[in-house]
């Protein structure tokens, strides 16, 4: 079973690599009329084609056959669901496009069941692994919003851009950020001096994600609180990575990528807080196109992608 699990993890990395090539090709194919919508869509494609399989490849080896089946099923289905969802963007919003995007929701539901199984087996003990589970549990929420976007539904009168932004938020802040926190937690095992510090960082990252989403739905003030909460969590995580985790990593490439990831997360969340404040204050400080160009790029490429590649290199070097 261990060999099968290792092979599944390798397949996840291969899927991420092939997905990166496919994503690069998609850069030259227009899928939206507005430039900001085009950029948001491309970031979303990065999430489902590269970020998800790369993060799944970092999930630790499992010990039961049932867990193995769930993990392998998720890894095998991911590229099919991701490609089908990308192709849904070549169709106008409606039933055919939503049918293709439904495949991604099904994939993420398998990942969520896998997370629940891990959580029940291990128990709710606070550790880096619980943050990994939380990230996988958030993923179907993002897939649900993505399905809503492709169906053309606009809940509470939201525009298409906001619906897609919410889907993207859960793929990066909801999924990738907790998993990166979990990776840091693994590296910090045995470092008692920062255990509480790490726990606070992880809890704030987890708590901030639904707060931002709830704020988008109900209140700009709640969104601002959520942005501040998750920003503090990511800042604490960056401090932990730069101050303690780097000492436990021998590879210069891994260290460099972790530094880029940490600094990018701080810069990205400064932009997020400015945007949330501008909505509350009704003063344009940062608008959606600027958010996509700054926060979106920093969070997706700088923070999530560089961070996951760093931990993937670290795992292969061990």
Print burial letters for 271-302: b (CB count within 10 Å at least 16), e (below 16): bbbbbbbbbeeeeeebebbbbbebbbbbbbbb
pLDDT tens sequence across 156-200 = 666 788 888 889 989 999 999 999 999 999 888 877 778 888 899
User: What is the phi/psi pair of residue 29, to 5°?
Assistant: -115, 120
287 contact partners, CB below 8 Å, separation of at least 6: 275, 278
Number of CB atoms found within 10 A of residue 61's CB? 13
pLDDT tens sequence across 67-109 = 678 889 999 999 999 999 999 999 999 999 999 999 999 999 9
pLDDT band at 279 (very low <50, low <70, confident <90, very high): confident
Please give the residue that has the higher pLDDT: either 123 or 97: 97
How is residue 178 written in tokens? 């907790």
The pLDDT of residue 99 is 97
pLDDT tens sequence across 205-218 = 999 888 887 777 67
Residue 252 exposed, middle or buried by CB count within 10 Å (0-12, 13-18, 19+): exposed
**Structural domain boundaries of the chain?**
2-317
Helix-helix angle 220-243:252-281, to 10 degrees: 160
Please give the residue that has the higher pLDDT: either 194 or 155: 194
Domain 2-317 bears CATH identifier 3.30.750.24: no
pLDDT mean over 43-64? 87
How is residue 173 written in tokens? 């802040």
pLDDT tens sequence across 58-69 = 986 555 555 678
């Amino acid at each position: 079973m261990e060999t099968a699990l290792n092979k599944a993890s390798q397949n996840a990395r291969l899927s991420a690599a092939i997905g990166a090539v496919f994503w690069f090709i998609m850069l030259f194919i227009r899928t939206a009329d507005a430039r900001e919508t085009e950029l948001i869509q491309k970031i979303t494609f990065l999430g489902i084609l590269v970020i998800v399989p790369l993060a799944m490849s970092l999930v630790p080896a499992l010990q039961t056959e049932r867990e193995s089946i769930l993990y392998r099923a998720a890894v095998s289905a991911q590229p099919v669901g991701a490609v089908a969802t990308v192709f849904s963007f070549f169709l106008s919003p409606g039933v055919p496009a939503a049918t293709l995007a439904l495949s991604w929701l099904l994939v993420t539901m398998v990942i969520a069941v896998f997370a629940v199984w891990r959580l029940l087996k291990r128990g709710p003990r606070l550790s880096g692994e619980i943050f990994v589970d939380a990230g996988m549990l958030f993923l179907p929420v993002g897939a649900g919003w993505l399905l809503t976007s492709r169906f053309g539904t606009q809940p509470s009168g939201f525009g298409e851009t906001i619906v897609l932004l919410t889907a993207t938020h859960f793929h990066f802040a909801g999924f990738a950020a907790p998993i990166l926190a979990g990776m840091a937690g693994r590296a910090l095992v045995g470092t008692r001096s920062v255990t509480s510090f790490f726990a606070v960082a992880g809890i704030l990252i987890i708590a901030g994600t639904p707060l931002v989403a709830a704020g988008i739905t109900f209140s700009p003030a709640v969104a601002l609180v959520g942005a501040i909460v998750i920003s503090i969590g990511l800042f604490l995580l960056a401090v932990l990575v730069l101050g303690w985790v780097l000492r436990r990593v021998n590879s210069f490439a891994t260290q460099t990528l972790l530094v880029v990831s940490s600094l990018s997360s701080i810069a990205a969340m400064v932009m997020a807080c400015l945007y949330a404040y501008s909505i509350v204050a009704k003063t344009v400080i940062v608008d959606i196109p600027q958010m996509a160009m700054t926060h979106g790029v920093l969070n997706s490429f700088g923070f999530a992608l560089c961070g996951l590649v760093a931990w993937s290199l670290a795992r292969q070097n061990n």
